[in-house]
């Protein structure tokens, strides 16, 4: 049985670590953890000690939340 992370990797979706996400976007690692805890984004744990986020999901979150405030997505 494969999980969604493994299927997405096969479909070549981009994933980044928490550290990489915090370097690419104006949020800290803790903020990404809080967003995941609130169910706004998904953290993937393919192996113990490794956490990944989908770049598509992060950008979608920014577009949705920025659109609500009339701002541009920082990744654009």
pLDDT at 12 > cutoff 70: no
Let me know if residue 50 belongs to a domain.
yes
pLDDT band at 18 (very low <50, low <70, confident <90, very high): very high
Calculate Rg over the CA atoms of the chain: 13
Q: Structure pTM?
A: 0.68
Let me know if residue 75 belongs to a domain.
no
Which residue range is the domain that position 48 belongs to?
4-69
**Helix spans in 1-76 (H):** 4-10, 18-24, 29-37, 55-69
Distance CA 51, CA 45 (A): 5
Q: What domain count does the chain have?
A: 1
Let me know if residue 74 belongs to a domain.
no
Let me know if residue 39 belongs to a domain.
yes
pLDDT digits (tens, 9 = 90+) for 25-71: 889 999 999 999 999 999 999 889 899 999 999 999 888 876 555 55
| DSSP code of residue 52 | E
Distance CA 42, CA 32 (A): 9
pLDDT at 1 > cutoff 50: no
Let me know if residue 27 belongs to a domain.
yes
Let me know if residue 76 belongs to a domain.
no
């Amino acid at each position: 049985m494969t999980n969604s992370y493994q299927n997405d990797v096969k479909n070549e979706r981009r994933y980044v670590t928490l550290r990489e996400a915090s370097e690419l976007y104006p949020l800290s690692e803790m903020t990404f953890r809080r967003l995941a805890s609130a169910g706004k984004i998904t953290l993937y744990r393919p192996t113990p000690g490794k956490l990944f986020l989908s770049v598509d999901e992060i950008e979608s979150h920014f577009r949705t939340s920025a659109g609500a405030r009339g701002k541009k997505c920082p990744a654009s």
